[in-house]
Amino acid sequence: MGQKNNIYIREFVTDDAESLLELNLANRTIFEAITPVSNDDSFYILDAHLKLIEGWKQAKKLGSRYDFGIFESGNNKLIGMIALYKFGASEKCVLGYSLDKGHHGKGYATEAVRLILEIAFKELGFHRVEAGVMPRNIGSARVLEKSGFVKEGLLRDYLKINGIWEDHYMFSILENEFY
């Protein structure tokens, strides 16, 4: 599904569980510092990742979330995750993504965001996509800006990450702004 120059994204399948576990283990410190993921050791086992992928499949059937792996085009290696989360009956969703630390600064996250925006607007029919970014996560804010998102303001104590309430800048892009 959706391919650009350096990466492509596709929905996760059960066979991705081991690669997903490896990605999460290799980036545990980074991911736990910026996303509300579990920091419980029981999350970092293969069975937990198999269940995670199955849960994502069920959530897609319900229309509540859409999870994709970010893969390198040349070797098909899983290097990140990107997802859309729908809340209620609205025509908006929230974007979340994470990328392997060894692939930062290469433009891969920007490519992945543009690919998922095509899906969000053209396939899923969303009107608005939002993304929250902690003020210290300058790289992620830059990815959103390069992808056409507009910074709307600061949400205080938006998400609890590692037991601490974190402020987030809210970014958004509307369907008619995406090109």
* Each residue's pLDDT tens digit, 107-156: 999 999 999 999 999 999 999 999 999 999 999 999 999 999 999 999 99
Rounded Cα gap, residues 114 and 106, in angstroms: 14
pTM greater than 0.85 = yes
Q: Is the pLDDT of residue 3 over 50?
A: no
